[in-house]
Chains A and B, each alone.
Chain A
């Protein structure tokens, strides 16, 4: 079981977390967004091998945060609060 560092609560078991998607998947607003762009936002994920930047939510405190980790080694590189803005 992995140990994830919640920026608010400290290290906790991975079962307390839910995955929230790729970091930087900014939402395009409006009805005129090109359909491919909207489909990318909805459905396309990068699924990288190696380091990745992701949004996670710590279910027990309810806070979303951004986490850098390695999908091969499962090493957690860093985590940080979002600060009220969509992570870029």
Chain B
């Protein structure tokens, strides 16, 4: 349906158009969204736990986690509120390297990311491995601010950004695909921006 009197003033140039998923627009800033107050987590108190169901597999302190192999990822990110930001530069520990340090292969096909504020989000395990995702510690070379999820946030850039859990403190392997915080509140169980899987009921 064409809207009377609305014209495409913001249509991106064709060379960038291919990088913008359907229904998204290009944002230069970095908006902040979250469901509650921003937790202030000191790195002295920070830890990260890998779990299989309720059972801890391995736990790292901030220093131990920072001693893991560091990788860089520069990716476009897509927020379900319709902004897309190009070329965000992150540095952190690939989920592959976390698993390697724990000495395990992924035990189940599904994972729940856990955060300090009680936030959770579910991601199929195969979307976290093979270099697809990391626990990011730096954004554009600097520690991630609390607003943006620091000290550490999950980065799963090929899915809508609510999957990239802020203030992450663990990954839990689950037997089934367990909906997380927003997935229980109307958001899509998988969240592929290129298939525009924003809300429950999207294909």
Report whether chain A binds chain B.
no
Residues of A within 8 A of B (CB): none
